[in-house]
Amino acid sequence: MKIRFIEMRRLLLTFLASLLGISTASCAKYGTLEAEYGCPEADFDFSGYVTDRGGNPIEGIEVKHTYRTDTTDETGYYHIPKHVDFPSSEFPVTFRDVDGEEHGAYRDTTAKVKVNHNEYRGGDDNWYEGTLTKEVNMTLEPKTDK
**Which residues, 6 or more positions from 104, have their beta carbon under 8 angstroms from its beta carbon?**
52, 58, 97, 142
Contact, 44 vs 33, CB < 8 A? no
**Residue 26: what pLDDT?**
44
Task: Assign domain 41-139 to a CATH class.
Answer: mainly beta
Contact, 142 vs 56, CB < 8 A? no
**Residue 50: what pLDDT?**
97
Confidence of residue 29 (pLDDT cuts 50, 70, 90): very low
Contact, 98 vs 60, CB < 8 A? yes
Contact, 72 vs 99, CB < 8 A? no
pLDDT tens for each residue of 82-99: 888 888 888 899 999 998
Instruction: Locate the domains of the chain by residue range.
Output: 1-35, 41-139
Q: Does pTM top 0.85 for this prediction?
A: no
Torsion, Cα of 76, 79, 85, 91 (10° steps):
20
- Is the per-residue pLDDT at 30 higher than 50? no
